């Protein structure tokens, strides 16, 4: 058996190319795709994204202007984060009707390049909160805010302004109706011009894996059904359906392979009712947020999202949660994602991770050491098969992963294709011990990249990681 194991490892390294970064367990291979509810890499392995949001909501609306750079990308990669949701603000993208600011896209491209150098994948996020500055919001320029002169209370602010501000509600309604804006051009058509310009720039960027067409859309004045147990499928189909289709077409003009994610109305994030999105016929993925007011609500929003993704065979991704440095809250939320095998992106790096963006990124420059540590969890970066169960106990630091050796489409993954578990040194400073059933461990002892090859006869693999009793040299 020992000889067979050595031969298997040698053959695996030969097939993979022992000199390559990915052969040594460096993580997912771009470009990313999807297979049913799962995000997959170029080799067909299931990818679990762990990331952060980086969204600049003030002029000039790009992260580099506020200190996000190579040091931040390096810091994120060092601690196992493999993705960033990068905000696009239409005030920077299209400050005047129909004029796309290419210099703004250039600034975003520099950030994408810095992240790609560290093998960090990027989701381009067309971000808005509260529509426009006119309503104490951000994201869209005031020239897109057509509200027919309805009352615009100056004291209505985030987050209640969605239900307190009739003018903002009408602005959303006019966007969904593609109301003619300046020059008689529809508001959605202007939006699609901006989306198309961004997609054109990033269509061939290997580490840009997709686009989130609008952050936290709102239905307008008729928002009530979205806070019922039945949800508001009719509003989703009637209002955001045509918008999502138009933006998807704008992206598909330049790329057929990058993923396009759509979001339910912001009210979905409370976990009260289901969503009809993304719809199997659309080819879109589902981006959702978790901001429920109770643990039960947090569990419900994840359940609703996973059910929708499985129903429509669409990739699912939690693109926002947290907005806090509370370790207890973050441990509870990340555990809920692990339990349903959902990849996630924390809100937000520039608000709740880094303390002073103008200073070098590092553990001595985080907003909360405990809060950051709660986000740095062991997880399977790539699975050569299909994940079945995932758990981590922060108190004992015990981690367990079970996966089938058959991929999402039912085909057996080649036994020599590696699964990679990120085991962070921050959580296991003294090292770790590992037990694997159905797989060989081929990485060096206590490596942060725990690399496994399924045994040729194994149907399932179970991996357990615990703190090393005697320690070990990394």
User: What pLDDT, on a 0 to 100 scale, did the predictor assign at position 161?
Assistant: 98
352: Cβ–Cβ under 8 A, 6 or more apart, which residues? 322, 323, 324, 325, 346, 367, 368, 371
CA angle 331, 285, 189 (to 5 degrees): 120
- Crossing angle of helices 187-202 and 166-176, in 10° steps, is 70
Report d(CA 161, CA 147) in Å as an integer: 14
Residue spans of the domains in the chain: they are 1-30+377-474, 36-376
Cβ-contact 132, 142 below 8 angstroms = yes
Report d(CA 159, CA 218) in Å as an integer: 12
Report d(CA 285, CA 303) in Å as an integer: 16
Q: What is the pLDDT of residues 262-313, one digit of tens each?
A: 999 999 999 999 999 999 999 999 999 999 999 999 999 999 999 999 999 9
Domain range 1-30+377-474, CATH architecture: Sandwich (2.60)
- Going across the sheet that includes 398-404, the strands are 386-393, 398-404, 460-467, 432-437
Residue 208: cis peptide before it, omega within 30 degrees of 0:
no
The DSSP output letter for 101 is -
Which residues of the chain carry a pLDDT beneath 70? 1-26, 470-471, 473-474
pTM value? 0.95
**Type and span of the H or E element at 195:** helix 187-202
Per-residue DSSP letters for 263-325? ---GGGGGSSS----S-GGG--EEEEEE--SSHHHHHHHHHHHHHHHHHHT--EEEEEEB-S-
Q: What are phi and psi of 392, to 5 degrees?
A: -150, 130
373: Cβ–Cβ under 8 A, 6 or more apart, which residues? 327, 426, 427
Report d(CA 103, CA 352) in Å as an integer: 28
Other CB atoms within 10 A of residue 282 CB? 16
The overall longest dimension of the chain from CA atoms, in Å, is 79
Q: What are phi and psi of 199, to 5 degrees?
A: -60, -35
- Closest of 384, 454, 372 to residue 75, by C-alpha: 372
Other CB atoms within 10 A of residue 445 CB? 14
In CATH terms, the superfamily for domain 36-376 is: Glycosidases (3.20.20.80)
User: What pLDDT, on a 0 to 100 scale, did the predictor assign at position 345?
Assistant: 99
Q: Give 35: exposed, middle or buried? Use CB within 10 Å, 0-12, 13-18, 19+.
A: middle
């Amino acid at each position: 058996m020992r000889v067979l194991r050595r031969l298997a490892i040698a053959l695996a390294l030969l097939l993979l190319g022992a000199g390559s970064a990915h052969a040594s367990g460096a993580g997912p291979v771009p470009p990313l795709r999807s297979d049913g509810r799962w995000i997959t890499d170029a080799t067909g392995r299931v990818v679990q994204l762990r990331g952060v949001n980086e969204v600049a909501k003030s002029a000039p609306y790009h992260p580099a202007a506020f200190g996000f750079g190579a040091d931040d990308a390096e810091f994120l990669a060092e601690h196992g984060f493999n993705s960033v949701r990068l905000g696009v603000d239409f005030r920077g993208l299209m400050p005047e009707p129909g004029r796309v600011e290419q210099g703004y896209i250039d600034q975003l491209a520099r950030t994408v390049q810095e992240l790609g150098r560290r093998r960090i994948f990027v989701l381009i996020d067309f971000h808005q909160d509260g529509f426009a500055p006119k309503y104490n919001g951000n994201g869209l320029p005031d020239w897109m805010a057509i509200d027919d002169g309805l009352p615009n209370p100056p004291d209505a602010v985030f987050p209640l302004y969605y239900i307190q501000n009739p003018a903002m509600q009408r602005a959303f309604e006019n966007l969904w109706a593609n109301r003619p804006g300046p020059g008689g051009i529809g508001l959605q058509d202007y939006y699609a011009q901006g989306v198309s310009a961004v997609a054109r720039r990033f269509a061939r960027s290997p580490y840009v894996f997709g686009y989130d067409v609008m952050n936290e859309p709102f239905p307008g004045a008729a928002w009530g059904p979205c806070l019922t147990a039945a949800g508001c499928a009719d509003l989703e189909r009637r209002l955001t359906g045509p918008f999502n289709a138009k933006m998807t077409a704008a992206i598909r003009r330049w790329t057929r392979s990058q993923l396009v994610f759509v979001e339910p109305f912001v009210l979905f994030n409370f976990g009260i009712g289901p969503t009809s999105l993304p719809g199997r016929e659309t080819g879109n993925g589902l981006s959702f947020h978790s901001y429920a007011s109770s643990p039960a609500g947090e569990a419900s929003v994840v359940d609703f999202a996973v059910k929708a993704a499985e129903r429509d065979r669409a990739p699912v991704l939690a693109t926002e949660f947290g907005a806090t440095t509370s370790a207890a809250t973050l441990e509870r939320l990340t555990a809920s994602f692990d339990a349903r095998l959902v990849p996630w992106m924390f809100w937000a790096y520039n608000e709740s991770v880094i303390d002073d963006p103008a200073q070098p990124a590092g553990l001595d420059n985080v907003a909360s050491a405990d809060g950051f540590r709660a986000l740095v969890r062991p997880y399977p970066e790539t699975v050569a098969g299909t994940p079945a169960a995932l758990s981590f106990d922060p108190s004992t630091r015990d981690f367990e992963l079970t996966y089938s050796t058959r991929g999402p489409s039912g085909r057996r993954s080649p036994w020599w294709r590696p699964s990679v578990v990120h085991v962070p040194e921050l959580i296991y400073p003294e090292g770790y011990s590992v037990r694997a059933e159905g797989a060989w461990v081929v990485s060096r002892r206590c490596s942060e990249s725990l690399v496994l090859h399924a045994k040729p006869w194994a149907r399932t693999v179970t991996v357990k990681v615990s703190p090393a009793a005697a320690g070990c040299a990394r």
